[in-house]
Amino acid sequence: MLSAPAIWRIAERLRGVVPPGEYGSVILAFTVLRRLELARGRPVAALAAVARAASPQARLETLIARLPAPVRGMMTRMEMDLIAPRLARAGVLGDVAAHFAALDLSPALYGTQDMARLFEELVHHFDSSEDTGAHYTPPEVCDLMTDLVFAPDGAGTGHALYDPAVGTGALLGRAADRLAARGVMVDLFGQEISPRACAICQADMLLRGRNPAHIQPGNTLAADHHSRRRFARMLANPPFGQEWRGIRPAIQAEHAAGAAGRFAAGLPRVADGSMLFLQHLLAKMRKPVHGGARVGMVTHGAALGGGGAESGESAIRRHLVDHDLIDTLIALPPDMFVNTGIATYVWILDNCKPAGRQGMVRLVDATGLWQRCPRSSGEKRREMTQAHIAAVVQAGTAGHDMDLIVQPGAEGAAAGWHAVTHDGSVRMDGTCALPLSRSVKGEDFLYHSLSVERAANCDGAPTRLTFTVDGADNPQAWFARMIQPFDPTARLDRTRSTTGCAISFARYFGAPSAPRALHAIEADLHHSMARLAALVEKGGR
> pLDDT per residue over 124-134, tens digit each?
776 654 434 44
Q: Do residues 193 and 337 share a domain?
A: yes
Q: Is residue 112 part of a domain?
A: yes
Q: Is residue 361 part of a domain?
A: yes
**CA 396-399-401 angle, 5° bins:** 70
Rounded Cα gap, residues 150 and 131, in angstroms: 31
Residues in the chain: 541
Pick the last residue of a domain from 349, 365, 400. Answer: 400
Q: Is residue 476 part of a domain?
A: no
Q: What is the pLDDT, as a whole number, of residue 129?
A: 43
> pLDDT per residue over 7-59, tens digit each?
888 888 888 888 887 888 888 889 999 988 888 777 778 999 999 999 999 99
Q: Is residue 55 part of a domain?
A: yes
Give the single-character DSSP code of 214: G
Q: Do residues 193 and 306 share a domain?
A: yes
Q: Do residues 106 and 164 share a domain?
A: no
Rounded Cα gap, residues 25 and 17, in angstroms: 13
Q: Do residues 194 and 103 share a domain?
A: no
Q: What is the pLDDT, as a whole number, of residue 131?
A: 39
Q: What residue type is assigned to position 461 of the chain?
A: A
Q: Do residues 179 and 210 share a domain?
A: yes
Q: Which domain holds residue 254?
A: 139-400
Rounded Cα gap, residues 56 and 60, in angstroms: 6
Edge-to-edge strand list for the sheet holding 326-331: 215-217, 185-192, 158-163, 233-236, 294-300, 344-350, 326-331, 360-365, 432-441, 402-408, 414-421
Q: What is the pLDDT, as a whole number, of residue 133?
A: 40
Q: Is residue 450 part of a domain?
A: no
Q: Is residue 341 part of a domain?
A: yes
Q: Do residues 157 and 119 share a domain?
A: no
Pick the last residue of a domain from 367, 400, 433. Answer: 400
Q: Is residue 424 part of a domain?
A: no
Q: Do residues 203 and 120 share a domain?
A: no
Q: Which CATH number characterizes residue 278's domain?
A: 3.40.50.150
Kindly give the parts of the chain with pLDDT less than 50.
129-135, 428
Q: What is the pLDDT, as a whole number, of residue 515?
A: 65
Q: Do residues 124 and 169 share a domain?
A: no
Rounded Cα gap, residues 505 and 95, in angstroms: 57
For the chain, helix, strand, coil in percent to 5 are 45, 20, 35
Q: Where are the beta strands (DSSP E) in 210-270?
A: 215-217, 233-236
Q: What is the pLDDT, as a whole number, of residue 14?
A: 87
Q: Do residues 100 and 180 share a domain?
A: no
Q: Do residues 144 and 121 share a domain?
A: no
Q: Do residues 298 and 153 share a domain?
A: yes
Coil, helix or strand at residue 462 = strand
Rounded to two decimals, the pTM is 0.86
Pick the last residue of a domain from 128, 157, 191. Answer: 128
Q: Is residue 425 part of a domain?
A: no
**CA 396-399-404 angle, 5° bins:** 55
Rounded Cα gap, residues 515 and 89, in angstroms: 75
Q: What is the pLDDT, as a whole number, of residue 530?
A: 81
What domain count does the chain have?
A: 2
Q: What is the pLDDT, as a whole number, of residue 534?
A: 78
Q: Do residues 230 and 302 share a domain?
A: yes
